[in-house]
Amino acid sequence: MKVIENKKIKLQNADESSTYGELLKACVSAPNQEGFTIDDIEKRLRIRKAIGETEIELEDADYAIAMQCIQKMRWGVCDEVILDFNNDFKAAENSAS
């Protein structure tokens, strides 16, 4: 189990604040070139359901899928907050399971 704090963030040029959970939802909702298979939908919805108000609790298999989605995501903004988001998720990989 990997636990990541659902931090509140503010992306540059954004009017409203956001959270790591919202960024993660954007990552798992972004289709690859072929779209989503039923298996993809089931796995990604499981990740979305793991997003709590203060923490994101992912089973190891879901964490691996989430990391793939984060790494493949194409962002519409160049912001240090996105690097922090990525680094905090990577840090969870090294935490106790």
Long-range contacts formed by 52-58: CB under 8 A, 24+ apart: 52/6, 52/21, 53/6, 54/5, 54/6, 55/3, 55/4, 55/5, 55/6, 56/3, 56/4, 56/5, 56/6, 56/20, 56/21, 56/24, 57/1, 57/2, 57/3, 58/1, 58/2, 58/3, 58/4, 58/92
The whole-model pTM stands at: 0.90
pLDDT at residue 96 in the model? 58
Domain boundaries, the chain: 2-93
Q: What are the average pLDDT values for consecutive 10-residue runs of the chain, which has 97 residues?
A: 94 86 96 92 97 95 96 93 96 70
